Amino acid sequence: MAYKIAIIVGSLRKDSINRKVARSMCAIRGDNLDCSMVEIGDLPLYNQDLDGSPPEQWVRFRKEVAAADGVLFVSPEYNRGIPGVLKNAIDVGSRPYGQSVFDKKPAAIITASPGSIGGFGANHQIRQVGVFLNMPMMQQPEAYLGHVSEDSFDESGCLKDGPLKELIEKLAHAFHDWVDMIHRSRQLLAEDAAHSSQQAARAKEHA
Ligand SMILES: Cc1cc2nc3c(=O)[nH]c(=O)nc-3n(C[C@H](O)[C@H](O)[C@H](O)COP(=O)(O)O)c2cc1C
Protein backbone atom coordinates (compact mmCIF):
# COMPACT_ATOMS: atom_id res chain seq x y z
CA MET A 1 0.00 0.00 0.00
CA ALA A 2 1.38 3.44 -0.95
CA TYR A 3 1.32 6.07 1.76
CA LYS A 4 1.08 9.77 1.00
CA ILE A 5 3.97 11.61 2.61
CA ALA A 6 4.05 15.39 2.99
CA ILE A 7 7.66 16.58 2.96
CA ILE A 8 8.24 19.92 4.66
CA VAL A 9 11.62 21.50 3.90
CA GLY A 10 12.91 24.05 6.40
CA SER A 11 14.91 26.10 3.89
CA LEU A 12 13.73 28.59 1.28
CA ARG A 13 17.12 28.77 -0.43
CA LYS A 14 17.02 28.05 -4.17
CA ASP A 15 20.01 25.70 -4.01
CA SER A 16 19.13 24.27 -0.62
CA ILE A 17 20.99 21.06 0.19
CA ASN A 18 18.03 20.03 2.35
CA ARG A 19 15.64 20.37 -0.58
CA LYS A 20 18.00 18.21 -2.60
CA VAL A 21 18.01 15.59 0.13
CA ALA A 22 14.20 15.73 0.10
CA ARG A 23 14.26 15.34 -3.69
CA SER A 24 16.49 12.28 -3.29
CA MET A 25 13.95 10.80 -0.90
CA CYS A 26 11.17 11.36 -3.48
CA ALA A 27 13.30 9.70 -6.17
CA ILE A 28 13.67 6.44 -4.24
CA ARG A 29 11.60 3.77 -5.91
CA GLY A 30 9.97 0.72 -4.37
CA ASP A 31 9.24 2.12 -0.92
CA ASN A 32 5.55 2.66 -1.47
CA LEU A 33 5.98 6.23 -0.32
CA ASP A 34 4.12 8.72 -2.47
CA CYS A 35 6.09 11.87 -1.55
CA SER A 36 5.21 15.45 -2.31
CA MET A 37 6.72 18.68 -1.04
CA VAL A 38 4.46 21.03 0.87
CA GLU A 39 5.68 24.58 0.37
CA ILE A 40 6.00 26.94 3.33
CA GLY A 41 7.71 30.05 1.93
CA ASP A 42 4.47 31.92 1.29
CA LEU A 43 2.88 31.37 4.72
CA PRO A 44 2.12 34.62 6.55
CA LEU A 45 3.52 34.66 10.09
CA TYR A 46 1.20 32.90 12.48
CA ASN A 47 -1.07 35.28 14.35
CA GLN A 48 -3.81 33.92 16.60
CA ASP A 49 -6.01 36.93 15.74
CA LEU A 50 -6.44 35.42 12.26
CA ASP A 51 -7.76 32.03 13.44
CA GLY A 52 -11.33 33.06 12.53
CA SER A 53 -10.45 34.21 9.00
CA PRO A 54 -7.26 32.41 8.03
CA PRO A 55 -5.14 33.57 5.06
CA GLU A 56 -5.60 31.35 1.99
CA GLN A 57 -1.97 30.20 2.23
CA TRP A 58 -2.62 28.79 5.71
CA VAL A 59 -5.72 26.99 4.42
CA ARG A 60 -3.76 25.51 1.49
CA PHE A 61 -0.92 24.37 3.76
CA ARG A 62 -3.25 22.80 6.32
CA LYS A 63 -5.20 20.96 3.58
CA GLU A 64 -2.03 19.52 2.05
CA VAL A 65 -0.69 18.27 5.37
CA ALA A 66 -4.11 16.94 6.46
CA ALA A 67 -4.32 14.84 3.28
CA ALA A 68 -1.04 13.05 4.05
CA ASP A 69 -0.58 9.74 5.89
CA GLY A 70 2.76 10.89 7.30
CA VAL A 71 5.07 13.89 7.49
CA LEU A 72 8.79 14.08 6.79
CA PHE A 73 10.69 17.14 8.01
CA VAL A 74 13.92 17.87 6.13
CA SER A 75 15.65 20.90 7.53
CA PRO A 76 18.82 22.85 8.07
CA GLU A 77 19.85 23.99 11.51
CA TYR A 78 19.94 27.73 12.18
CA ASN A 79 21.92 28.81 15.21
CA ARG A 80 21.59 25.35 16.71
CA GLY A 81 17.82 25.47 16.40
CA ILE A 82 14.78 25.22 14.08
CA PRO A 83 14.77 27.76 11.22
CA GLY A 84 12.03 30.33 11.87
CA VAL A 85 10.27 29.59 8.60
CA LEU A 86 9.78 25.94 9.59
CA LYS A 87 8.66 26.78 13.11
CA ASN A 88 6.13 29.21 11.62
CA ALA A 89 4.76 26.47 9.34
CA ILE A 90 4.47 24.07 12.26
CA ASP A 91 2.66 26.72 14.31
CA VAL A 92 0.27 27.43 11.41
CA GLY A 93 -0.53 23.71 11.03
CA SER A 94 -1.02 23.24 14.76
CA ARG A 95 -3.89 25.72 15.10
CA PRO A 96 -6.75 26.56 15.71
CA TYR A 97 -6.52 24.81 19.05
CA GLY A 98 -7.88 21.27 18.80
CA GLN A 99 -7.67 21.20 14.99
CA SER A 100 -3.97 20.52 14.46
CA VAL A 101 -3.29 18.85 11.11
CA PHE A 102 -0.25 17.19 12.66
CA ASP A 103 -2.20 15.31 15.31
CA LYS A 104 -1.45 11.54 15.20
CA LYS A 105 0.53 11.79 11.93
CA PRO A 106 3.56 9.52 11.96
CA ALA A 107 6.68 11.54 11.23
CA ALA A 108 10.43 11.41 10.66
CA ILE A 109 13.19 14.00 10.62
CA ILE A 110 16.27 14.54 8.47
CA THR A 111 18.67 17.42 9.04
CA ALA A 112 21.53 18.21 6.68
CA SER A 113 24.43 20.62 7.04
CA PRO A 114 27.85 21.33 5.60
CA GLY A 115 28.98 21.24 9.25
CA SER A 116 30.11 18.15 11.06
CA ILE A 117 27.24 17.61 13.50
CA GLY A 118 24.56 17.45 10.81
CA GLY A 119 21.98 19.73 12.41
CA PHE A 120 21.66 17.63 15.56
CA GLY A 121 20.28 20.59 17.55
CA ALA A 122 17.54 21.44 15.04
CA ASN A 123 16.71 17.76 14.61
CA HIS A 124 15.97 17.36 18.30
CA GLN A 125 14.05 20.62 18.55
CA ILE A 126 11.78 19.42 15.71
CA ARG A 127 11.42 16.10 17.55
CA GLN A 128 10.46 17.90 20.76
CA VAL A 129 7.79 19.96 18.99
CA GLY A 130 6.49 16.88 17.14
CA VAL A 131 6.18 14.90 20.35
CA PHE A 132 4.13 17.71 21.89
CA LEU A 133 1.94 17.76 18.77
CA ASN A 134 1.16 14.05 19.27
CA MET A 135 3.11 12.88 16.22
CA PRO A 136 4.53 9.38 16.58
CA MET A 137 8.17 10.13 15.71
CA MET A 138 10.33 7.48 14.11
CA GLN A 139 13.39 6.88 16.25
CA GLN A 140 15.77 4.93 14.00
CA PRO A 141 17.63 5.42 11.82
CA GLU A 142 18.55 8.90 13.00
CA ALA A 143 19.54 11.21 10.14
CA TYR A 144 22.00 13.96 11.05
CA LEU A 145 23.67 14.41 7.67
CA GLY A 146 26.99 16.17 8.15
CA HIS A 147 29.55 17.39 5.60
CA VAL A 148 26.87 17.73 2.92
CA SER A 149 27.94 19.99 0.06
CA GLU A 150 27.12 20.70 -3.58
CA ASP A 151 29.47 17.87 -4.37
CA SER A 152 27.19 15.39 -2.61
CA PHE A 153 24.63 15.67 -5.44
CA ASP A 154 24.53 14.69 -9.11
CA GLU A 155 23.35 16.88 -12.01
CA SER A 156 19.69 15.98 -11.34
CA GLY A 157 20.06 17.35 -7.79
CA CYS A 158 19.86 13.96 -6.07
CA LEU A 159 22.41 12.37 -3.74
CA LYS A 160 25.24 10.57 -5.48
CA ASP A 161 25.79 6.89 -4.71
CA GLY A 162 27.54 6.50 -1.37
CA PRO A 163 26.91 6.33 2.38
CA LEU A 164 24.54 9.36 2.48
CA LYS A 165 22.31 7.91 -0.22
CA GLU A 166 22.40 4.53 1.51
CA LEU A 167 21.28 6.14 4.77
CA ILE A 168 18.41 7.93 2.99
CA GLU A 169 17.35 4.65 1.36
CA LYS A 170 17.42 2.91 4.73
CA LEU A 171 15.41 5.74 6.22
CA ALA A 172 12.83 5.54 3.41
CA HIS A 173 12.31 1.80 4.04
CA ALA A 174 12.13 2.31 7.80
CA PHE A 175 9.71 5.23 7.42
CA HIS A 176 7.42 3.18 5.19
CA ASP A 177 7.36 0.42 7.83
CA TRP A 178 6.78 2.98 10.61
CA VAL A 179 3.84 4.64 8.83
CA ASP A 180 2.44 1.22 7.91
CA MET A 181 2.68 -0.04 11.51
CA ILE A 182 0.93 3.04 12.92
CA HIS A 183 -1.91 2.97 10.39
CA ARG A 184 -2.45 -0.79 10.58
CA SER A 185 -2.44 -0.77 14.40
CA ARG A 186 -5.06 1.97 14.42
CA GLN A 187 -7.19 0.07 11.92
CA LEU A 188 -6.99 -3.11 14.02
CA LEU A 189 -7.88 -1.20 17.19
CA ALA A 190 -10.86 0.42 15.40
CA GLU A 191 -12.01 -3.01 14.14
CA ASP A 192 -11.67 -4.47 17.65
CA ALA A 193 -13.67 -1.59 19.13
CA ALA A 194 -16.41 -1.99 16.48
CA HIS A 195 -16.54 -5.74 17.12
CA SER A 196 -16.79 -5.24 20.89
CA SER A 197 -19.60 -2.72 20.58
CA GLN A 198 -21.49 -5.06 18.20
CA GLN A 199 -21.15 -7.88 20.72
CA ALA A 200 -22.30 -5.60 23.53
CA ALA A 201 -25.36 -4.55 21.47
CA ARG A 202 -26.23 -8.21 20.69
CA ALA A 203 -25.84 -9.19 24.36
CA LYS A 204 -28.22 -6.34 25.29
CA GLU A 205 -30.79 -7.51 22.71
CA HIS A 206 -30.74 -11.03 24.13
CA ALA A 207 -30.76 -9.95 27.75
C1 LIG B 1 21.15 32.01 9.88
C2 LIG B 1 21.99 30.77 9.71
C3 LIG B 1 22.35 30.05 10.81
C4 LIG B 1 23.08 28.86 10.66
N5 LIG B 1 23.36 28.10 11.76
C6 LIG B 1 23.89 26.87 11.59
C7 LIG B 1 23.98 25.97 12.70
O8 LIG B 1 23.61 26.25 13.81
N9 LIG B 1 24.48 24.72 12.46
C10 LIG B 1 24.90 24.32 11.21
O11 LIG B 1 25.33 23.18 11.05
N12 LIG B 1 24.83 25.18 10.15
C13 LIG B 1 24.33 26.41 10.31
N14 LIG B 1 24.20 27.26 9.24
C15 LIG B 1 24.74 26.84 7.95
C16 LIG B 1 23.72 26.01 7.20
O17 LIG B 1 23.83 24.67 7.64
C18 LIG B 1 24.00 26.07 5.70
O19 LIG B 1 23.87 27.40 5.25
C20 LIG B 1 23.10 25.14 4.92
O21 LIG B 1 23.50 25.09 3.59
C22 LIG B 1 21.65 25.61 5.03
O23 LIG B 1 20.81 24.61 4.50
P24 LIG B 1 20.17 24.72 3.05
O25 LIG B 1 21.34 24.54 2.07
O26 LIG B 1 19.21 23.62 2.98
O27 LIG B 1 19.57 26.09 2.90
C28 LIG B 1 23.50 28.45 9.37
C29 LIG B 1 23.14 29.22 8.27
C30 LIG B 1 22.40 30.36 8.43
C31 LIG B 1 22.00 31.15 7.19
Best mutation site among 73, 78, 147 for ligand 1, i.e. most ligand atoms within 8 A of its Cβ? Answer: 78
Q: ω before 83 within 30° of 0 (cis)? A: no
The pTM assigned to this predicted structure is: 0.95
Q: Which residues pair with 4 in a beta bridge?
A: 34
Cβ-based burial of 27 (10 A; exposed 0-12, middle 13-18, buried ≥19) = middle
**Ligand 1 atom closest to residue 19's alpha carbon, by position in its atom list:** 26
Cβ-based burial of 117 (10 A; exposed 0-12, middle 13-18, buried ≥19) = middle
Q: Which residues pair with 112 in a beta bridge?
A: 145
Question: Is the minimum distance from the CB of 156 to ligand 1 under 6 angstroms?
Answer: no
**Ligand 1 atom closest to residue 115's alpha carbon, by position in its atom list:** 11
pLDDT tens across the length of the chain (207 residues): 789 999 999 999 999 999 999 999 988 877 789 999 999 999 999 999 999 999 999 999 999 999 999 999 999 999 999 999 999 999 999 999 999 999 999 999 999 999 999 999 999 999 999 999 999 999 999 999 999 999 999 999 999 999 999 999 999 999 999 999 999 999 999 899 898 989 988 988 888
Report which protein residue has its CA nearest ligand 1's atom 27.
16
Length of the chain: 207
Report which protein residue has its CA nearest ligand 1's atom 10.
77
